[in-house]
Structure 1
């Protein structure tokens, strides 16, 4: 396969619905929430997507909805051999991967003194090891072609302490720094690596943190998130709303596009100002 050239220095912006035409993206955690929104945003820009998830239902539905543009595969990102096999098969059968977006993640809340070894290991296995497995597998191939973009969806919890979220925050912080180090190594070979760090977003993960009976998007639990909580040292959201998955997906779509061709090693917070960028 002939090497791909880096974007020309004579830069022109393609129409929004075609700016990723001809490109192939791998998205993990694509079955719901932010991952699903990322798939939709990329397809809307002309990209073909290999949508993966540990549970097949969501990605299978996307493949049916976007027949010809989305291919669904079941993938456990904690399994390094399975990741490598999927990437190798994709490059053989679908074409060269231009984009990889690490979205797969889990959240297990607990005070540190009650946090189990199993919860700690499971959190890092998905949120950190999974990012490593996928990024390592695609990085060398992209570097050999001289072009590519890797985006890791992390969390604003990676940059500011959160009560009951030590494992999650630590795993996301590790993924942010890993992605930056990867980007530094790959920059001379034309591959850009960035992270997007959402705040509270209307996903099943967010709703799962709310008390039973309050897991609806305009209820008291949602209003408390917007207002903040002094008892847990948590600021509110200055923009006055909880993000929707599409808000995060739009940031990802920008970073993988040629509009961001000179951006790498960047951590883009998409949290409505919730962390005051501390």
Structure 2
């Protein structure tokens, strides 16, 4: 077994990555492809995944469009990927939405959509893929959650609750599938430089100089500690954690929740 990452460690594996059109999902798709996997990149919007396909070539990354909140569409997607790309040995659930607002201002629609994508979407895709993995008695599932699932955040109740539910779902799935040799883990990022994260920042002067100091240093008014490592994560930091967990280097790790947040939650 290799002791470190190699460009060939995932050769022969087929991976499905949701939310692959941008941000963490796109970085995960690239990282798995760079290690030799054939990747089915899935997103509700087609532009980002088509760009990945053009960048890598269809034999390495193929573009697929689906809304993970739609159970029928997910079943069709997984059947298509298995037919046209290959038997799935890796699933990475990245698709997610964020509606930031105090609880008293959250709309029913925002709450429902948050759970439809962040929680029910994880269920839909994981169920469809797990059925096939179980028959083959092999596979890895990683859900990209959030450190907000483990510590309260002001203005993020819907997001945090949905990610907490997805985290526990993934652990329960891993418990059920363990005897089939299928490993299920969670990667929980903290603040990561993505469009979703930048939408939370105040309007800047157009220079994109970086995150507000409160993201790095913390903000007592919102009961938020800073980031001990003194930097915001890049999508690649999360993708590398995912790549480790789906590789044979993590062959005895399951039901684990790996925080990749620079110590921001003090592992609360």
TM-score range, shorter chain: over 0.9
**Aligned counterparts of 2:125 and 2:82: Cα–Cα separation in 1:** 14
Q: Distance in 1 between matches of 2:33 and 2:258?
A: 22
Does 1:51 find its partner at 2:34?
no
1:172 Cα deviation from its structure 2 partner: 0.0
Measure, in 2, the Cα distance between the counterparts of 1:142 and 1:132.
Answer: 15
Question: How far 1:13 sits from its partner (Å)?
Answer: 4.9
Alignment-derived partner of residue 4 in structure 1? none
- 1:18 aligned to 2:8? yes
Q: 1: CA distance between counterparts of 2:266 and 2:259? A: 10
Moved over 6 A (4+): none
Q: What aligned pairs does 1:58-73 form with structure 2 within 5 A after superposition? A: 58-67=48-57, 68-73=59-64
| CA distance in structure 1 between the partners assigned to 2:137 and 2:207 by the alignment | 46
Q: Compute the displacement of 1:102 (Å).
A: 0.3
- Aligned counterpart, 1:7: none
Q: How large is the Cα RMSD of the aligned pairs?
A: 1.3
- In structure 1, the partner of 2:135 is 144
Q: Does 1:39 align with 2:25?
A: no
* Matched residue, 1:169: 160
1:248 is aligned, of 238, 241, 254, to 238
* Superposition map of 1:75-86 within 5 A: 75-86=66-77
Secondary structure at the residue paired with 2:118? helix
Name the SS of the counterpart of 2:62 in structure 1. strand
The aligned runs of 1:1-278 (5 Å cut-off) are 11-13=1-3, 16-67=6-57, 68-213=59-204, 218-219=209-210, 221-278=211-268
**Which digits, 9 at most, give the CA deviation of each residue in 1:84-116, with x for residues without a partner?**
111011112221001000000000011111111
Find the aligned partners of 1:188 and 1:53 in 2 and give their Cα distance: 31
Question: Aligned with 2:39: secondary structure?
Answer: strand
Query: Matched residues in 1 for 2:201 and 2:4: separation?
Result: 42
Q: How far did 1:215 drift? A: 7.3
**Cα distance between partner residues in 2 of 1:82 and 1:72:** 15
Return closer, same or farther for 1:180/1:15 CA change in 2, 3 Å cut-off. closer
Q: Output the CA distance in 1 between the equivalents of 2:205 and 2:262.
A: 22
Is the Cα contact below 8 Å between 2:10 and 2:36 reproduced in 1? yes
Contact kept, 8 Å, 1:13 with 1:258, in 2: the verdict is no
- With over 3 angstroms needed to count, the CA separation of the structure-2 counterparts of 1:109 and 1:14, relative to structure 1, is closer
Note if contact 2:52-2:61 (Cα within 8 Å) is conserved in structure 1: yes
DSSP 3-state at the match of 1:98: strand
Distance 1:217-1:179 versus aligned 2 partners, 3 A rule: farther
Q: How many angstroms apart in 2 are the aligned matches of 1:24 and 1:261?
A: 17
Partner Cα distance (1:196, 1:180) in 2: 12
SS in 2 for 1:120: helix
TM-score with structure 2 setting the length: 0.97
TM-score, reference length from structure 1? 0.94
